[in-house]
């Protein structure tokens, strides 16, 4: 009977002792070790995983630390989320803690390029002109010449898209004594810009081409008082100089657009072609001057100097060549000067004239205004 009682009560006692032991261990874990009473199989945030105790892999040198997720500050558009793993619009952060829901996606609107402003041509001021094919810039300067006298200069920067915008005009009937003022010829041709040419009718010899047309083919001799240097302006906008005595004026290249017969040449491939000690006659004197130089095809420099005035006597050819060199010209050529020197722009003569009177000359070099620019551009 006693054995039957023990066999019945003993399992009950073992079971009770086990219950009491487990309860004591749990209470000890909670109150003494300060651990929460929680079933570790319960994960509060289903999107996050947490390894079981004792199974965490030790950190390695190659592993990247994971940034902690802050659960007390909600993510807003003004609060950037920092850390090694950026939160993007494509990866929403969800869960039961405050970092829940989708992170607002900021739409970046690409900057649009505004169309360039529409420029209305022509642009004209008292010293500037520009349209789609022509740009003229005029600047003034004062130079102290060899006599210690201040001389006023005009620098013209001329850029073209086609050589045919640079034209020439011969006064009246082209006869031996046909002539007119540069201003009158400019107005007759609706020119925005004009200067004097080579005054070729003043001499009986000298090769002259105007706008592709051979006007005179008789060459000058080297012994001519003005020399025999001629300037050829070609169809591609380039120019070069020749010795007239060595060529037949009737056999110039077919693409010769203009041929001016005055001179001398001032610069050639950057080298000075005149010297202050070998000039003769009026060349060695200070005078009003007109010269044209080339930077590159269709890009030219024109210099006009005043002179024969009470407050300015002008430049020598040597000084003029130096000015052309300083402006960066590759080649430069002297045109008619003295009282012939005239610079016309936008309806008026800019340079002060000797005796305050414009000389009549045989020809001029000019550029039309906007209407002719459109006409050439349509070809």
pLDDT digits (tens, 9 = 90+) for 53-110: 444 444 444 444 444 444 444 444 444 544 454 445 454 445 455 555 666 667 777 7
Average pLDDT over residues 160-176: 86
pLDDT at 308 over 90: yes
**Does pLDDT of 192 surpass 50?**
yes
Angle at CA 290, nearest 5°, toward 324 and 346?
Answer: 110
pLDDT > 70: what percent of the chain?
68
Query: At which residue do the structure tokens 């002060």 appear?
Result: 352
339-353: average pLDDT = 97
Across residues 325-340, what is the average pLDDT? 97
pLDDT of residue 191: 96
Q: pLDDT at position 374, please?
A: 52
Q: Find out whether 305 and 266 touch, Cβ atoms under 8 Å.
A: no
Say yes or no to pLDDT of 21 above 50. Answer: yes
The per-residue pLDDT for 53 is 41
Lowest-pLDDT range, 2-6, 23-27, 111-115, 209-213?
Answer: 23-27
pTM above 0.85, yes or no: no
CA separation for the pair 374, 50 (Å, rounded): 80
H-state helical runs in 140-248 = 182-188
Long-range pairs, 27-31, Cβ under 8 A, ≥24: none
The closest alpha carbon to 291, from 256, 271, 264, 309, belongs to 264
Q: Is the pLDDT of residue 8 over 80?
A: no
Average of per-residue pLDDT values in the chain = 80
Tokens at residue 72, please?
């007390």
pLDDT of residue 57: 44
Compare 363 and 5 and report the one with higher pLDDT: 363
Summarize pLDDT for 117-145 with one digit per residue, the tens.
888 999 999 999 999 999 999 999 999 99
pLDDT of residue 369: 79
| pLDDT mean over 244-256 | 95
Residue 364: pLDDT over 50: yes
Q: Which pLDDT value is given to residue 158?
A: 98
Task: Please report the pLDDT score of residue 281 as a whole number.
Answer: 53
Strand partners, 299: 159, 296
Is the CB of residue 328 less than 8 Å from the CB of residue 295?
yes
More confident residue, 369 or 351: 351
Confidence class of residue 14 from pLDDT cuts 50, 70 and 90? Answer: low
Highest mean pLDDT among 45-54, 169-178, 220-229: 220-229
Report the pLDDT averaged over residues 282-307. 92
pLDDT over threshold 80, residue 29: no
Q: What is the pLDDT of residue 177?
A: 66
């Amino acid at each position: 009977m006693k054995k039957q009682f023990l066999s019945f009560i003993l399992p009950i006692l073992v079971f009770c002792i086990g219950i009491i032991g487990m309860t004591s261990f749990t209470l000890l874990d909670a109150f003494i070790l300060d651990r929460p009473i929680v079933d570790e199989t319960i994960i509060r945030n289903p999107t996050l995983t947490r390894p079981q105790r004792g199974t965490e892999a030790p950190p390695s040198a190659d592993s990247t630390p994971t940034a902690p997720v802050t659960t007390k500050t909600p993510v807003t558009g003004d609060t950037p989320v920092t850390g090694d793993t950026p939160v993007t619009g494509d990866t929403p952060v969800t869960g039961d803690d405050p970092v829940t829901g989708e992170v607002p996606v900021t739409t970046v609107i690409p900057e649009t390029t505004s169309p360039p402003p529409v420029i209305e041509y022509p642009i004209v001021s008292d010293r500037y002109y520009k349209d789609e094919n022509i740009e003229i810039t005029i600047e003034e300067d004062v130079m102290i010449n060899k006599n210690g006298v201040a001389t006023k200069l005009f620098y013209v920067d001329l850029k073209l898209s086609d050589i045919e915008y640079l034209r020439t005009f011969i006064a009246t009937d082209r006869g031996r004594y046909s002539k007119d003022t540069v201003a009158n010829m400019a107005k007759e041709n609706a020119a925005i810009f004009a200067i004097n040419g080579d005054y070729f009718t003043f001499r009986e010899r000298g090769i002259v081409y105007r706008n592709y047309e051979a006007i005179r083919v008789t060459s000058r001799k080297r012994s001519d008082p003005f020399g025999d240097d001629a300037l050829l302006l070609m169809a591609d906008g380039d120019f070069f100089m020749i010795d007239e005595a060595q060529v037949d004026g009737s056999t110039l290249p077919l693409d010769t657009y203009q041929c001016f017969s005055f001179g001398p040449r001032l610069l050639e491939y950057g080298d000075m072609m005149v010297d202050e000690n070998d000039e003769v006659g009026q060349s060695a004197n200070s005078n009003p001057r007109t010269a044209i130089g080339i930077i590159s095809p269709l890009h030219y420099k024109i210099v006009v100097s005043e002179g024969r005035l009470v407050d300015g006597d002008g430049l020598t050819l040597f000084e003029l060549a130096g000015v052309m060199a300083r402006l960066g010209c590759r080649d430069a050529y002297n045109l008619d000067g003295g009282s012939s020197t005239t610079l016309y722009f936008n309806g008026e003569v800019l340079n002060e004239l000797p005796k305050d009177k414009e000389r009549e000359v045989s020809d001029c070099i000019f550029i039309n205004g906007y209407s002719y620019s459109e006409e050439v551009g349509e070809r």
